[in-house]
Amino acid sequence: MRPTTSNEIRKAFLDYFNELNHEVVPSAPLPQRDNPTLLFTNAGMNQFVDVFLGKEKRPYSRATTAQKVMRVQGKQNDLENVGPSARHHTFFEMLGNFSFGDYFKREAIDYAWTFLTGVMKLEPERLFATVYTDDDEAAELWERYLPTDRILRFGKKDNFWAMGDVGPCGPCSEVHYYSGDMQDITPAGVNNDDYPNYVEVWNLVFMQFDAQPDGTLIPLPRPSVDTGMGMERLVRVIQGVESNYDTDLFVPAMNRIQQLLGDSDAQRAEQYVGYRVIADHGRAATFLIADGVQPGNTGAGYVLRMIIRRAARFGRKVGFHAPFLGQVAEVYIEQMGEAYPELRLRRDLILHTLQREEERFNRTLDSGLLHLDQILDDLHSRGETVVPGDLAFNLYATHGLPLELTRDEALEQHGMAVDEEGYNAAREAHALASGSGAFAGYEVGQSIYGDMLLSLVSTGRLDESGVDYDPYTGASLQTTVLGLISDGKRVEVVRVGQPVEIVTTATPFYVESGGEVSDTGRVTNTFGGEVEVRDVRRPVAGLIVHSGVVVAGEIKEGEVVTLEVDRERRADIRRNHTATHLLHRELRAHLGKHVAQAGSLVAPDRLRFDFTHDQALGREALGRIEAAINRAVLANYPVNIAYMGQKEAIAAGAMALFGEKYGDIVRTVTVADPTPGKESLPYSFELCGGLHVGETGEIGLFRFVTEEAVGAGVRRVEAVTGRGAYEFVTDRLNLLDRLASKLNTPVVELENRLETLLEHDRSQERELDAANRRLARGQFDVLLGGVMKVRDVTVLAAKVEAQSVERLREMTDWFRDREKSGVVVLGMISDGKPVIVASVTDDLIARGVKAGNIVREVAGIVGGSGGGRPNLAQAGGHHPEKLGDALAAVAGLVEAALN
């Protein structure tokens, strides 16, 4: 029976290739960490790049995936077509099968044909195959299934595939399906946008080359296969509909939109673009948040914010006035949660993030669109056809309108374009001014490590799995030096004072990962040579280097050395790492299931933990969480390490970190709760490759140090444990002892004593303020003798001795209370600089006398600036010696202002 629903089709594909000995590999996360030129995974083969290049070896040579993909960047940006187009999306699924030097063209073509015609039951007479211009081998293989008039040749544009400008690439063969009337079938429709009934279903890439930055193509060590079949297109073909949005991948979400709006079918059809954008963007946002992306102003965070806001803007157009995307997300969580468990696991976070971002955008959308409308109308009235890039960026920086939204509005309202180069230039200038950086590039000089690894493997000094890495079973190890690097060059010996990077056969040193810092320690030999290891890195997969300085003797390549980890420092790190697991658990227990780890640092002296939450934690909330963590510490729960299948661990409830890549076998850390009745419900259960204590009691004590915001919807706490907590508490207690000694009171009475002193101080301040006020009042009464008349207006301009600007303003109030019509300008010297306050009664404002105008003029005389309201204004300056001249000018300014 032919699979018909999207969930059945996805499962049928994976099952088919699994039966052909392909490992079913889980989808990689959407955010890309391995390739700095990509924001998101944009192809199924992204997670296998190093395998194709021969840099990484997997326990399988065949794989199949249903890969989550985003294309909103660079040449593969489909955003503008989403909505009007029946087949474009920001997020989609890519079904693929891969061969890593196992099978090649024949099997790839055979497998594809059998799946499409045998499993999916597609009519062979409706299929076309395309091959690269000179790929005779692929053409001959297709002739076993198709007549030659349905085997077409195309050039590099259509039939040569590359992930980017560099990396794996090769000729490809595409399978196209014709869905129209058979009497109209023609080869001319293939790869021709004028013939909508022809759909490219599958692309079989024969990976033969590694493209270099200079354009040369280097043959790959083993020719491989990378295929990609768009899930949405296949489902469209199987379900026999004209648009991807008419498949069961989108119809349930669009039905929910219609239900929420109360639209008729005719209204839904009329507003199909808005419905499609909301359905597509809602799905993309749901998956991005599930993979750990939070709305932000750069990188992946910007893309998420942009698509949420673009969906919200189209939501306004179709009739929504309150947040709605969470209800759309619920459809996808239910519909796709079995295939992608992270959706159900992070449901609360997804809904919370969407609600918060929509609410934030709704607060600024009306004013932002109003400003945009004014700009567009003004440009259009002047005959302009392009919105300047700096204006577009200012709309984003000030009102939160993404470039894509401005571009949509400009096109829809007036057929205008946006200067995107100018926008990017303005954004770069803003980034430089604010100190934010661009994406980091590849590490300079990285090739020396790749060369060393290839040399060691090819000569048999290191097996293909690389350096034997085991930081878990001990802190010291005898091993052999395989290579030395100093000042960027390979050397055979290093001596005292030289910087060095040491590669050994095996290492017990932990390499920084998952927020936990690397171990430090030393490398010694039997001849007195010693290297102080200050860092440990993995510059390329399979190679670990110990970076440091030679502090004694010399170290030579080929000799036996002892690697010794700093045990005390490692113990501190262990305490802090296990404490982050306890912290994560208690944050979710106290704040809600939307809390998820968004970053961490596990160092010997402290731990730092970033998590998704949009409100500050007060001292009371922190106190409750801290107390709960310390109860878990005192309970001395056992901490167990176990290895299991990734799918098994996730199904059992293990928490996985956002954006982390996990293998098929994962390491789990369980903090057990042996309390009777709770044995089957662990206190904490996470996937983690870090170092941990054996029992929570080893943590000793947990204490928060700081709590702050680090971005929209992300909070950060820092804490100390063990020795760090002891030192922190000891310092605080010693401080209390010193303060108690200075105040000659017991520590237990210190708070009362301080309150008494503070109240006495406040009382003294009140008395002093009253005395100063009496002095100022007396000074003011004397000043009244110096009032002058300008026409019929009472004017007072004088220098006074006041203790503060507030007192100066109060003196002008006294003048207004006494004189029902008049102008007062008072000046003082504060911290060596002139300060001026002007006040004008309301009746004179109507006659043209305004305080703001007066202070601006007198401020110029003292070398400063000022302004304010018509009845009260303030100015400052830099030339105290000219204060008298400024005050002397007041009468003339009043005279000139009077109507």
pLDDT of residue 424: 84
* Sequence-ordered list of residues with C-beta below 8 angstroms from that of 786, at least 6 positions apart, any chain: 796, 798
The mean predicted confidence, pLDDT, of the chain is 88
Residue 439 has pLDDT above 50, yes or no: no
Kind and range of the H or E run holding 207: strand 198-211
Mean pLDDT on 340-364: 87
Rounded mean pLDDT, 50-70 = 89
Of 35-49, 93-107, 787-801, the range with the lowest mean pLDDT is 35-49
Give the percent of the chain with pLDDT over 90. Answer: 52
Q: What integer is the mean pLDDT of 668-691?
A: 85
Grouping H, G, I as helix, E, B as strand and the rest as coil, residue 337 is coil
In this predicted structure, what is the pLDDT of residue 431?
A: 59
Phi and psi (nearest 5°) for 812? -70, -30
Average pLDDT of the segment spanning 876-883: 91
Contact 197, 99 (CB under 8 A): no
- Asked whether residue 329 carries a pLDDT value surpassing 60, the answer given is yes
Give the pLDDT confidence score for residue 437 in this predicted structure.
36
For the cut 70, the answer to whether the pLDDT of residue 344 exceeds it is yes
End-to-end CA distance of the chain: 94
Percent of the chain with pLDDT over 70: 95
Give residue 441's pLDDT.
Answer: 27
Comparing 15-19, 181-185, 654-658, 829-833, the range with the smallest average pLDDT is 654-658
Determine the pLDDT at residue 680.
Answer: 63
What pLDDT score does 121 carry? 96
Whole-angstrom distance, CA of residue 154 vs CA of residue 131: 6
Determine the pLDDT at residue 35.
67
Q: Return the pLDDT at 440.
A: 27
- Whether the per-residue pLDDT at 207 is higher than 60: the answer is yes
Q: What is the 3-class SS of 407-474, one letter each residue? A: HHHHHHHHCCEECHHHHHHHHHHHHHHHCCCCCCCCCCCCHHHHHHHHHHHHCCCCCCCCCEECCCCC
Looking at the DSSP assignment, which residues form a beta bridge with residue 73? 76
**Which residue reads 């022809």 in tokens?**
198
Whether 381 shows a pLDDT value over 50: the answer reads yes
State mean pLDDT over 117-129. Answer: 96
What local confidence, expressed as pLDDT, does residue 658 receive?
63
pLDDT at 442 over 70: no
The pLDDT value given to residue 436: 40
Q: Report pLDDT for 283.
A: 97
Q: What is the mean pLDDT of residues 291-319?
A: 87
Q: Tell me: pLDDT of 764 over 80.
A: yes
Mean pLDDT of 149-175: 88
- Helix and strand numbers, DSSP H then E, in the chain: 27, 37
| 483 pLDDT higher than 90 | yes
Where is mean pLDDT largest: 52-61, 209-218, 527-536, 636-645?
527-536
- Angle (CA) 314-319-320 rounded to 5° is 75
Whole-number pLDDT of residue 721? 97
Q: Is the pLDDT of residue 398 over 50?
A: yes
